[in-house]
Chain A
């Protein structure tokens, strides 16, 4: 079996896992299972990112997105408790709308589908130089944005923010 065939099989498995996790997140009765399935979607997407050749970014996605963001959502859902259900009347119309939306989304990017995806080879040094030499200002702004958002979140959730 050639490496490209093997890559295709891995990609198919990762894609099936990701879509299955997304469907599970959609149909789960309890909010906490839905949030946990979101974590599985994140892991599946990270696997696909790794297969595209961005191994470091895949690790970053698992650490920051699955490790922090999804965990935050899971704990918040545990704090809030049981969910409130869904609009059964809307289901046929919503399904048709979502299918049309996905079709339109796919059609709009279909022109790019003939392009070949190459597995990229990037090393940590290249990324580090790029990030801390060329995009250092953006990095500082991002750090300030994250810090201010953290303070904002704490204020909103605290008793003081309520008054």
Chain B
């Protein structure tokens, strides 16, 4: 199977994620879109690792997936804190100060 098929899927996921990250105003929706972009990158990384580094690629991918879990573990509490402070997760209203 040629790599171009998987790379095309990766590019499509990256584009969809980028579109979501630009148009959505909610911090959670932006996070979800960025996670779609992460999935696209992981797919690209593993596709290339089947060609160039079949053994070391998945080891690094394990670290990447675990670190993404920890990244979400920090960002989600920040969003919850933002919601508690402002009463909204609208990123365009971040500079307006406390609402409650």
Chain A contact residues, CB within 8 Å of chain B:
4, 7-8, 11-12, 15, 18-19, 22-23, 25-26, 31, 34-35, 38, 41-42, 45, 48-49, 52-54, 56-57, 60-61, 64-65, 68-70, 72-73, 76-77, 79-80, 83-87, 90-91, 94-95, 97-99, 101-103, 105-106, 109-110, 112-120, 122, 126-127, 130-131, 135, 138, 142, 145-146, 149-150, 152-154, 156-157, 161-162
Complex contact A117–B15 (CB within 8 A): no
Contacts of A49 in B (CB 8 A): 42-43, 46
Q: Are A26 and B26 in contact (CB under 8 A)?
A: no
Instruction: Report chain B residues within 8 Å CB of A54.
Output: 46, 50, 58, 61
Q: Chain B: interface secondary structure?
A: helix
With a cutoff of 8 Å between Cβ atoms, the chain A residues found around residue B69 in the complex are 64-65, 68-69, 146
Q: Which residues of chain A are within 8 angstroms of B67 by Cβ–Cβ distance?
A: 142, 145
B61 to A57, Cβ gap below 8 A? yes
Chain B positions within 8 Å of A99 at CB level: 15
Q: Which residues on A sit within 8 Å (CB–CB) of B16?
A: 19, 22-23, 25-26, 98
Q: List, in ascending order, chain B residues with CB within 8 A of A72's CB.
A: 72-73, 76
Q: Residues of B contacting A76 with CB < 8 Å?
A: 28, 76, 79-80
Chain B residues with Cβ below 8 Å from A135 are 59
B26 to chain A: which residues have CB within 8 Å? 31, 83-86
Number of A-B contacts (CB under 8 A): 248
Interface of chain A, helix or strand or loop or mixed? helix
Contacts A/B (CB < 8 Å), 14 sampled: A11-B6, A22-B13, A64-B66, A73-B32, A73-B35, A76-B28, A80-B89, A85-B25, A105-B15, A106-B8, A149-B71, A153-B76, A156-B81, A161-B77
> In the bound complex, do residue B42 and residue A45 qualify as a contact, i.e. CB atoms below 8 Å apart?
yes
- CB < 8 Å neighbour of B15 from A15, A56, A98, A122: A98
